[in-house]
Structure 1
Amino acid sequence: MAQDPIRVDIVSDVVCPWCIVGYRQLKQAAEETGVAIETYWHPFELNPDMEAEGENLRDHIMRKYGSTAEQSKDARDRLMKVGADLDFDFHWTDDSRIYNTFAAHQLLHWASETGQAQALKLALFDAYFTQGKDVSDPEVLVDVATSIGLPPEEAREVLKDQRHAEMVRQKEQFWTSRGVTGVPTMVFGGKQATSGAQGVDTFARLLKQLTSQ
């Protein structure tokens, strides 16, 4: 008899590069081990106080983490290599910016009501990291939603009237109240949590361990 898929709750932000890396690692681990998983995405804002126009990514990293311009570039170069190994294209320029993602999380909550949150999440990762788009811009968000088959006019209304804003805040508070301070945080089967992109081998061992319990 086939085993039920393992539920994996992923707390993440769409401007977090390690979130898409961690997801790709987890997906590869599931494929290699033959362990079925079901992923559920939850909101976290890396920069809840970010100004509307965003901030130059290099300047942001230097300011937030105290790194030099060279260290910031080295980190991005390393991520590009990690992404390439996982068939994901990180594309950064000197003009790359980081944005607030509260609106994106509201759209993701809306998409979750029809089971399309994962498709939208992955499309937003691609829009931001590969295409360099402003994922705080309502029109960009509507375009991304439309690209996966969601109705554009409803997407635009969701963002305009902010009908899901309070729910997103509640979800964010739920996870931070349980000790989540960084992303990606993954919770396996509601009982075992990991933080960060753990690597394919580590995720594979964890999945096999969970299926043997």
Structure 2
Amino acid sequence: MPENALRVDIWSDVICPWCFIGKRRLETALGRFEHDVELHWHSFQLDPAHEKGHRVPVREMLAAKFGAPPAQVDGMQRQVTDLAAAEGLTYHLDRAIAVNTLDAHRLGHLAAEHGLGDRMHERLLKAHLSDGEVIDDPDTLVRLGAEVGVPAAEAADVLRGTKYAAEVQADIDQAKRLGITGVPFFVLNGTHGVSGAQSAETFLAALEQAR
């Protein structure tokens, strides 16, 4: 970490459409922020009770979760897709598959060990929200990791076992201690919190204040 760099800790889930929007808006703010920043990604599970191995279209999952008719779910998804497009992101939420994200987060921790945490989180978000990838599939995760530079053999070894599960849980426990109940959530220099996918202007003001 460069001397005097501002630390930004981010809690996010790799299936969270608002997290990708928040990432882009933060990056826009960082482009206007004239100081060094180091990002640290932390695991969060929007639905930790989602049964491992259970795969269901997000559209069906949301309809069941909110007791909403399909037309209402489609409207919600169109709204977030339009907001994503304004940040240069292309969502295909009609193809998104809801899964348990524990293994994807374990891969994220491995990637962070290689200095690839930000690139891995970006790839996982795109895989789920844009590409219709099934991100609890071990072979898919190994391939996505390799795309950003994570050694395939290491990723496969991690995904066969339980390595980094404790680190994922530690992130989640830390979020609870901080009172974080939703993501994305950003902690700047350990002193300032920003909740949600705020505007780039809000992020920039928070970065200046935290510094």
TM-score, with length taken from structure 2: 0.92
CA distance in 2, matches of 1:5, 1:140: 35
- Runs of 5+ consecutive residues of structure 1 not aligned to the other structure: none
Runs of 4+ aligned residues of structure 1 deviating over 4 Å after TM superposition are: none
Please say if residues 8 and 38 of structure 2, whose CA atoms lie closer than 8 Å, have aligned partners that are also in contact: yes
Aligned length: 209
Is 1:131 equivalent to 2:102 in the alignment?
no
Alignment partners' CA distance in 1, 2:17 and 2:159: 24
Give the secondary structure class of the aligned counterpart of 2:7: strand
Counterpart code for 1:104 = A
Identity over the aligned pairs, expressed in percent?
32
Secondary structure of residue in 2 paired with 1:100 = coil
RMSD across aligned positions (CA): 1.8
- How far off its partner does 1:3 sit? 8.6
Encode CA deviations 1:21-44: one digit per residue, 9 max, x unaligned: 101001101213434422110001
Distance 1:66 1:192 in 2: 36
State which drifts further: 140-149 or 195-204. Answer: 195-204
Q: 1:168 & 1:96 partners in 2: Cα distance?
A: 23
- Encode CA deviations 1:2-27: one digit per residue, 9 max, x unaligned: 99332110001000011111010011
> In the alignment, residue 181 of structure 1 is paired with which amino acid?
T
Structure 1 CA distance for aligned equivalents of residues 202 and 133 of structure 2: 32
Q: By how many angstroms is 1:46 displaced?
A: 1.0
Letter in structure 1 aligned against 2:68: S
Deviates more, 1:179-188 or 1:49-58: 49-58
Tell me whether 1:15 sits opposite 2:15 in the alignment.
yes
CA contact (8 A) 2:57 2:98 kept: yes
Instruction: Give the drift of 1:130.
Output: 1.2
AA matched with 1:129: L
Give the deviation of 1:63 after TM superposition: 2.2
- CA distance in structure 2 between the aligned counterparts of 1:96 and 1:150, rounded to whole angstroms: 24
Q: 1:53-132, aligned counterparts within 5 Å? A: 53-93=54-94, 96-132=96-132
Q: Deviations over 1:108-144 (max 9, x none)?
A: 1111112111111111111111111001111110000
Question: What residue identity is the alignment partner of 1:121?
Answer: H
User: Which moved further from structure 2: 27-36 or 46-55?
Assistant: 27-36
